[in-house]
């Protein structure tokens, strides 16, 4: 480990972190360590042997509070995160009802689009069911997943839905990308899946058709709206 109080080599910290959260924590930790080292009057070799200078849980909690005070909110990775500490996390994605009026060639309303994880042999028609809570998954686990269920998921909930995932006729997720955990799992199970879906006016119990025959999205390309698969309301 190098001395964080020393002059950093040219370019050592020049490349920013991939996310704002990581950059915020890294910069605050570096500053805090440098401040404590300077205040201690010790050499780096002496400081690393001093337990009294170690960063503790309260230090990281303070950095987290500083980040949240800027208005930033974390993306939740599991439903329990939002349930236990709602003030720290962004709210669940909501299905809008803007009434854009777009229709397909058969005159049916197009109510959403998304990134196709893999190209299926056929489009899938089924019943949209909102799956965003542990209670819903437990009910499906105990009583079975209704035939023809197209699971509508708020975020990239691979962990939440894993116990019943293989029984879905299809998945439409309003978060994540084709590289997300849920995208990887659905590909492995062979369950057609759209990620990063934008939905408009969909309700639990609607019969929909999802364009899973659309070519899969390029995981590393810009999000091309014309390449997004469509979700059509049947009834």
Instruction: Tell me what pLDDT residue 169 has.
Output: 98
- Give the Cα separation of 216 and 57 in Å (integer): 43
Residue 33 lies in a domain: yes
Residue 77 lies in a domain: no
137 and 55, same domain (yes or no): no
| Mean pLDDT, residues 202-230 taken together | 85
How many Cβ atoms are within 10 Å of 13's Cβ, its own excluded?
12
34 and 143, same domain (yes or no): no
Residue 147 lies in a domain: yes
pLDDT at 8 over 60: no
How many Cβ atoms are within 10 Å of 10's Cβ, its own excluded?
6
137 and 211, same domain (yes or no): yes
Which span out of 14-18, 23-27, 100-104, 142-146 was modeled with the highest average pLDDT?
A: 142-146
| Mean pLDDT, residues 141-155 taken together | 93
Cβ 99 vs Cβ 165: under 8 Å: no
135 and 225, same domain (yes or no): yes
Residue 203 lies in a domain: yes
Instruction: Tell me what pLDDT residue 100 has.
Output: 62
Instruction: Tell me what pLDDT residue 107 has.
Output: 87
pLDDT at 3 over 70: no
| Mean pLDDT, residues 194-215 taken together | 93
58 and 120, same domain (yes or no): no
The pLDDT tens digits of the residues spanning 26-72 come to: 999 999 999 999 999 999 999 999 999 999 999 999 999 999 999 99
159 and 62, same domain (yes or no): no
Q: Which domain holds residue 199?
A: 110-233
| Mean pLDDT, residues 178-196 taken together | 93
| 3-state secondary structure labels for all residues of 165-197 | HHHCCEEEECCCCCCCHHHHHHHHHCCCEEEEE
Question: What mean pLDDT is reported for the chain?
Answer: 86
CATH of the domain at 152: 3.50.30.10
123 and 209, same domain (yes or no): yes
117 and 188, same domain (yes or no): yes
| Mean pLDDT, residues 153-171 taken together | 88
H or E stretch covering 230: strand 229-233
- Give the Cα separation of 165 and 54 in Å (integer): 44
64 and 158, same domain (yes or no): no
* Total count of domains within the chain: 2
120 and 223, same domain (yes or no): yes
Instruction: Tell me what pLDDT residue 155 has.
Output: 73
119 and 203, same domain (yes or no): yes
Instruction: Tell me what pLDDT residue 77 has.
Output: 66
The pLDDT tens digits of the residues spanning 87-116 come to: 998 876 667 665 567 888 888 899 999 999
């Amino acid at each position: 480990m190098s001395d964080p109080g020393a002059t950093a080599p040219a370019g050592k910290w020049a490349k920013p972190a991939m996310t704002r959260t990581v950059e915020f924590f890294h910069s605050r930790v570096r500053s805090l360590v440098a401040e404590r080292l300077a205040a201690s009057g010790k050499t780096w070799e002496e400081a690393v042997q001093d337990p009294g200078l170690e960063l503790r849980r309260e230090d990281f909690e303070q950095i987290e509070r500083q980040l949240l005070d800027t208005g930033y909110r974390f993306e939740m990775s599991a439903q329990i995160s939002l349930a236990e500490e709602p003030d720290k996390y962004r709210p669940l994605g909501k299905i809008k009802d803007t009434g854009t009026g777009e229709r397909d060639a058969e005159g049916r309303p197009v109510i959403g689009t998304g990134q196709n994880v893999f190209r299926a042999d056929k489009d899938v028609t089924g019943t949209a069911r909102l799956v965003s809570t542990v209670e819903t998954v437990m009910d499906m686990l105990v009583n079975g997943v209704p035939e023809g269920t197209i699971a509508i998921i708020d975020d990239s909930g691979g962990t939440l839905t894993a116990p019943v995932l293989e029984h879905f006729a299809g998945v439409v997720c309003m978060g994540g990308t084709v590289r997300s955990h849920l995208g990887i799992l659905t590909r492995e199970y062979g369950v057609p899946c759209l990620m990063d879906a934008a939905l408009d006016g969909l309700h639990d119990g609607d019969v929909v058709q999802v364009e899973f025959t659309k070519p899969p999205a390029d995981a590393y390309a810009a999000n091309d709206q014309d390449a997004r698969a469509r979700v059509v309301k049947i009834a």
